[in-house]
Structure 1
């Protein structure tokens, strides 16, 4: 089987592709990942990043990503050109991972395999596409071939545009990596978040919520990590934020576990992997109803107490109030919330997700 990526970077979507590729290979499948070389960081952006001190860093030969350091058969198309069928091996199945990659494979010979579209977001919501681009995305959705989606809401969006067979396969969490022992609250109230400059991730809402919450909890500490450049003087970060840029995966669980609550402020999200990761580390999440947050943070289907806190979109006051309530919970109540968060995350394993993903690929290959 072949996974076709537009590029390899540090996005959550690429991390999910790597996870499936490694797990499917471990099950005996021959797996190849093909991606396009990403252009290096523009000079203007490097100058801006260097303005906080030091010289201008040389342009990297290749932009780093989640596929670095793994032993998958990863083939990079040089120069950023659009791949052709000659760039991919013979296979039983070819998995596209972005609407443009789904366009590329039109007209490719049968030897590349049956095409399955793996959709991890409503791609119309990313990058503010114009009307013509939105029409191209929707045309891809309507193509008569299987589509695996990471959340039910994405499937409903595709079906609303006349798309064909859609199969939800929710993302999961690596509990061998993301875990923490039971604990109580932090000695000093602490919240965390993933830092980004992407507006659809809601950084402005989270920053404003923290500022409001600090009026009630002046000693509120803040921890964050992300891929964004964030010097100590970054005005986008709350004062005193302990920030880690691109920390190794093995160090991220300690960031989650060092918080009383994790903030998720997205305006639009495919799934929201950080929600599951934080919950697996026994950290309650305060989040907007984007991606899979309603299912993960809301009341369980059979009734009972929720495993997190849902707040309205675009409402920093509501998020701030939830921060204050959570960090002020009695120890026993916070531990109970922490335990419910962990229990929900434990129900989303990559083994189960890979079972379902593999089943759909096998069905496509036999069709």
Structure 2
């Protein structure tokens, strides 16, 4: 098949990484893949100044343009400036895949020659900072949907009446994320991914870790992320922060932790939680995304309610204070939770979903716009 992915400005997010994984896999399967995206939106000097005054630092344009596509060798067309991708920007294809709500708007009016239209949904993007009515309207467009988690499939049915949705769960690269069998460390260590995005709940993570530090003063804290630490969301003292680590360094960061913490208020999937488990690290998480589907409290981690700082703190403390044999069981069970996941298997499901979209398009059985 000839396959086109239409993306928003690409970056170092998990969403861009997943598309990169599938694009490479589809090429290995013998398909022709093209990716098209605009560059980042320009930021005015006044906006840059406001961000700097707020403590976010000066905007680094080179940093904004970094993405998981860098060095991938994929056929990636970047528009000359930020604007909507239009029909003349994309090649004729068998299938065209929108990867974000705006891209779904863009491709929905394209002619059949550009391919059967697919909406690859990695989150339910109904957030206050977005035009919610427009976002919701994209889920009602006549595009065949592929979702990454069961909860998203349920939402597409319950809120938008679409029962013909393909579920293709994310996976973990076992050649990148792995760890030898290990024991709990002498100094209890917790880790998390730093992000200033509100729905990631890092403010909750920090509040919970502060509570744990009150009872366990020697708690070691590790964090990494691609963002600059902001004055509005400062790290706790002595936190070991690694900025934009190389992909092959992230495994060691997960493996240095006795517990991985994620307090998201909303998640499409939550790849870091899966990667941490592949590195034999139990996870304490809020009830969102993939963790809500797989974490069993006391078995492979702890699951708590969203925004419950006390419960998150208790979960973290419970994991890091287990006796060595108890912690080792948690570690083993975390590993077993993701042991059989495979990007190859997910890519095969993704390919099948694209073929399903082509078939439905040919039969005109995709939902009416």
Q: Same fold (TM over 0.5)?
A: yes
The C-alpha deviation readout for 1:249-303, integer Å capped at 9, x for no partner, is: 110010000000000100001000011000000010000011111222127xxxx
Per the normalisation by structure 2, the TM-score is: 0.91
Q: Which runs of 5+ in 1 are unaligned?
A: 300-304
User: Of 302, 312, 316, which aligns to 1:319?
Assistant: 312
Residue 289 and residue 61 in structure 1: after superposition, are their counterparts in 2 closer, same or farther (change >3 A)? Answer: closer
SS at 2:327 equivalent: helix
User: Of 234, 237, 248, which aligns to 1:236?
Assistant: 234
Q: Which runs of 5+ in 2 are unaligned?
A: 361-369
Per the normalisation by structure 1, the TM-score is: 0.91
Residue 68 and residue 41 in structure 1: after superposition, are their counterparts in 2 closer, same or farther (change >3 A)? Answer: farther
The C-alpha deviation readout for 1:208-254, integer Å capped at 9, x for no partner, is: 100100111110010000111028x8862011011011111110010
Residue 49 and residue 365 in structure 1: after superposition, are their counterparts in 2 closer, same or farther (change >3 A)? Answer: same
User: Residue 19 in 1 paired to residue 21 in 2?
Assistant: yes
- Check conservation: 1:24, 1:354, Cα contact below 8 A: yes
Output the CA distance in 2 between the equivalents of 1:250 and 1:86: 38
Q: How does 1:247-286 map to 2 (within 5 A)?
A: 247-286=245-284
- Check conservation: 2:179, 2:278, Cα contact below 8 A: yes
User: Of 315, 321, 324, which aligns to 1:328?
Assistant: 321
- Check conservation: 1:3, 1:34, Cα contact below 8 A: yes
Alignment correspondent of 1:215? 214
> Shift of the alpha carbon at 1:139?
2.1
> Shift of the alpha carbon at 1:352?
1.1
- Check conservation: 2:108, 2:142, Cα contact below 8 A: no
Alignment correspondent of 2:335? 342
Alignment correspondent of 1:226? 225
- Check conservation: 1:141, 1:158, Cα contact below 8 A: yes
Residue 329 and residue 41 in structure 1: after superposition, are their counterparts in 2 closer, same or farther (change >3 A)? Answer: farther
Alignment correspondent of 1:302? none
- Check conservation: 2:171, 2:341, Cα contact below 8 A: yes
Output the CA distance in 1 between the equivalents of 2:152 and 2:315: 28
- Check conservation: 2:301, 2:319, Cα contact below 8 A: no
Alignment correspondent of 2:198? 199
RMSD: 2.2
The C-alpha deviation readout for 1:169-197, integer Å capped at 9, x for no partner, is: 11111111011111011221100000011
Output the CA distance in 2 between the equivalents of 1:5 and 1:58: 21
> Shift of the alpha carbon at 1:15?
0.7
> Shift of the alpha carbon at 1:58?
6.7
The C-alpha deviation readout for 1:125-147, integer Å capped at 9, x for no partner, is: 3x533xxx322222221223310
Q: How does 1:49-88 map to 2 (within 5 A)?
A: 59-60=61-62, 63-88=65-90
Q: How does 1:118-129 map to 2 (within 5 A)?
A: 118-125=120-127, 127-129=128-130
Output the CA distance in 2 between the equivalents of 1:276 and 1:178: 9
Residue 40 and residue 179 in structure 1: after superposition, are their counterparts in 2 closer, same or farther (change >3 A)? Answer: farther
Output the CA distance in 2 between the equivalents of 1:49 and 1:224: 23
> Shift of the alpha carbon at 1:106?
2.4
Residue 61 and residue 267 in structure 1: after superposition, are their counterparts in 2 closer, same or farther (change >3 A)? Answer: closer
